[in-house]
Structure 1
Amino acid sequence: MSASHAGDPAAFAADVLDEGPAEPEHEPGVASRRPTKTCAGGALIRDSTGRVLFVVPTYKAVLDIPGGMAEDDESPKAAAVREVREELGLTVALGPLLVVDWTPRNGVWRDCHQFVFDGGVVDGAVACDPELSGVVYLSLDGAAPRIYPSLHRRLTLAVAALESGTTRYAEFGREV
C-alpha cells in the first residue's frame, strides 16, 4: 500500500476503483515482452551516536541495511516497513525518501530500483529473522570493507540527503 494510503485501505481501494477497469492488451503479448524490473525498499536506521544499523545476512557474505525486495503490488516503502518488522521486530513509521538508486544486473539478480527511507534513530536493535545472524552498528567508513561499494556510495548519499532535506537520485550509487 502506498505511503499516502498507509493506514487507510479504504482510500487505497477507492483510488484503485477510480482508475477504471483494467487496461486491455491491444496487441496480444505486448505486456509479456516488456522488461521486468525489481525494486527494493530499505531503511537508514542510526543509533544515538550516528552509527548506521547493518544487518548480517546468513545468505550472503556482505552486510546490508534493513529492508528487502518489494512483493507483487507492494510499494517500496511498504516493503521496507514489512522487512524492518520481520528482520528486527520493530514497527517503524519511516520518514522521507532519501535516495532512489538504480543498480544494474548482477549475476542472477535483475537490475533494480533501490529506495532508501529515513528509518530514524533506534538504539539496541536485535535480529529477529532466521535469515540474519545479527546486527551491527558501524560508521560508513567502518562498514566500507564489509559492504558493496555501491551500497557505501548509496548510503553516503542517504546521509547527505538526511542532512540537506533533499532526496537524491543515483545510478549504481553515483548521483546523477
Structure 2
Amino acid sequence: MTEGGRAGDLAAEGVPEAEFHPGIAQRMPRKGVAGGALIRNEDGLILFLEPTYKPTLDIPGGMAEQDESPLEACRREVREEIGLELEIGPLLVVDWVPAIGVWFDAVNFIFDGGVLDREQIQQLRVDPVEARGSEFLTLEQASTRLRPSMARRLAAAQEAVSRGATQYAEFGRL
C-alpha cells in the first residue's frame, strides 16, 4: 500500500472506468471470501473451535465483511472468537469451494496463526456466542468431526507449513 493506506491506493488508481453496458457490474457474479488461521500449540496440535452455528469443528476465522480483505477478516475473527490479538503469518492455502446448497461459491484463505505458548493458551477466551468450546487436536483426531473438504484444506495447510510454500486447492484438493 502507498503512504496513504487503502484510501491512498484507491485514489492512485484514478477514476474508475465507465461501464460499457450500464448495470453490468451489478449483474456480475460474486464470491464469498473467508480467512482462517491455522493455530497450533507447542506439541503441533491444531486449535479447533466447536461453533454454535454448525455441527462440525472449524478453525478460528470466518467470512470477510464488505470491503474487508481475507487477512483483515482472519485477524478480526481470531480476536472475536478466541480473544487473542495474534500476529497472523503468511498465507498457507488458497482454496476455491464450489456452490453448495444455498451457498455461493467461495474462496477460502488459510493463514499461519503460529504456535501458541502456554501463557497464550491460558489467555484464550472463547466467545460463547461463536463457539461452545475449543480443543487442540491432531488433524486425524478431528477428521471425523470435520467436513471432508475442511480436512483436506487443513492437510494442505500443514503441508504448506512444512514446505514453506503456499498451496492452491480446489475444494481442498491440491
State if a TM-score over 0.5 links the two structures. Answer: yes
Q: Distance in 2 between matches of 1:32 and 1:20?
A: 21
Partner of 2:31: 37
Structure 2 stretches lacking a partner, 5+ long: none
Query: Structure 2: which amino acid aligns with 1:37?
Result: K
Matched position secondary structure for 1:130: coil
CA distance in 2, matches of 1:129, 1:80: 18
1:165 is aligned to: 164
- Cα offset for 1:75? 0.5
CA distance in 1, matches of 2:128, 2:60: 11
Equivalent-residue separation in structure 2 for 1:136 and 1:108 (angstroms): 30
2:87 is aligned with what amino acid? A
Describe the superposition over 1:100-154 as per-residue Cα deviations: whole angstroms up to 9, x where unpaired.
Answer: 0001111121110000000001242331241211111110000000011100000
Which residue of the other structure, out of 38, 41, 49, is the alignment partner of 1:47?
41
Divergent runs of 4+, >4 A: none
- Pairing 1:92–2:86 present: yes
Alignment of 1:2-151 (within 5 A): 10-122=4-116, 123=118, 124=121, 125-151=124-150
Distance of 2:134 and 2:61 partners within structure 1: 13
CA RMSD of aligned residues (A): 1.4
Aligned length: 169
Q: Percent identity at matched positions?
A: 52
Cα separation, 2, equivalents of 1:106 and 1:146? 19
CA distance in 2, matches of 1:32, 1:78: 25
CA separation in 2, counterparts of 1:90 and 1:126? Answer: 8
Structure 1 regions of 5+ residues with no counterpart?
none
Q: Is the 8 A contact 1:104 1:110 kept in 2?
A: yes
- Measured in 1, the distance between the counterparts of 2:144 and 2:157 equals 19
Contact persistence 1:88–1:129 (CA under 8 A): no
Say if 1:67 and 1:80, in contact at 8 Å, map to a contact too.
yes
Q: Deviations over 1:43-81 (max 9, x none)?
A: 000011100001111111000010000011110010000
Rounded Cα–Cα distance in structure 2 between residues aligned with 1:23 and 1:87: 39
Amino acid paired to 2:49: V
